């Protein structure tokens, strides 16, 4: 039996990208941002398809922070929203030298099929306006225990991949 798995894509970060990511540090929890506010690690052609993202931060067991960007990517052809996360571990000295995208994630509720009102708004004023006017769970910030549908799996996938990567480096 073939088991479907998440597809991690690790990228090396240059010092300016690490500095930029460090400016996104926040207290544990999540907050909603427009897709236009995402860091430059998101390639331009990719970020053009992102209407919004949740920035998620959580402490690691070793005193660092998991920092993730759980992006809502618009798939116009499929009339769907797919969550595409990027994450990095932030040590006391700053973000690590690499970060990871998870493509084609397999977690529950990764893909959502918004109502027609969503697509009407996208056509009229753009996707970013919809998310900021209609945030997930009607909130723009929250605790880790209140992550909106689909983003919990996104974050858990990022943390799992970072742990595997970090453990492999220290072995």
% pLDDT > 90, the chain: 56
* pLDDT grade for 138, boundaries at 50, 70 and 90: low
Model confidence pLDDT, tens digit, residues 55-71: 999 999 989 999 999 99
pLDDT score for 2: 44
As a residue count, the chain comes to 171
**Interatomic CA distance for residues 13 and 19, integer angstroms:** 10
- For the chain, give the mean pLDDT: 87
CA 162 to chain centre: 14
**Interatomic CA distance for residues 125 and 31, integer angstroms:** 22
The predicted model gives 115-126 an average pLDDT of: 75
**Interatomic CA distance for residues 99 and 103, integer angstroms:** 13
Q: What's the pTM value of the predicted model, to 2 decimals?
A: 0.88
The predicted model gives 22-26 an average pLDDT of: 95
Domain extents in the chain: 7-126
């Amino acid at each position: 039996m073939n088991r479907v798995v998440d597809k991690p894509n690790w990228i090396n970060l240059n010092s300016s990208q690490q500095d930029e990511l460090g400016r996104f540090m926040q207290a544990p929890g999540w907050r909603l941002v427009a897709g236009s506010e995402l860091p430059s690690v998101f390639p331009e052609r990719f970020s053009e398809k992102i209407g919004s993202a949740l920035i998620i931060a959580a402490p690691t067991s070793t005193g660092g922070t998991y920092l993730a960007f759980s992006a809502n990517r618009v798939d116009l052809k499929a009339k769907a929203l797919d969550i595409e996360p990027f994450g990095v571990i932030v040590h006391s000295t700053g973000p690590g030298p690499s970060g990871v995208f998870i493509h084609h994630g397999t977690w529950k509720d990764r893909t959502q099929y918004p109502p027609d009102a969503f697509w009407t708004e996208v056509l009229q004023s753009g996707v970013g306006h919809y998310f900021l006017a209609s945030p997930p769970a009607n909130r723009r910030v929250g605790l880790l225990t209140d992550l909106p549908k689909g983003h919990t799996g996104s974050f858990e996938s990022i943390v799992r991949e970072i742990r595997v990567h970090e453990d492999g480096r220290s072995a």
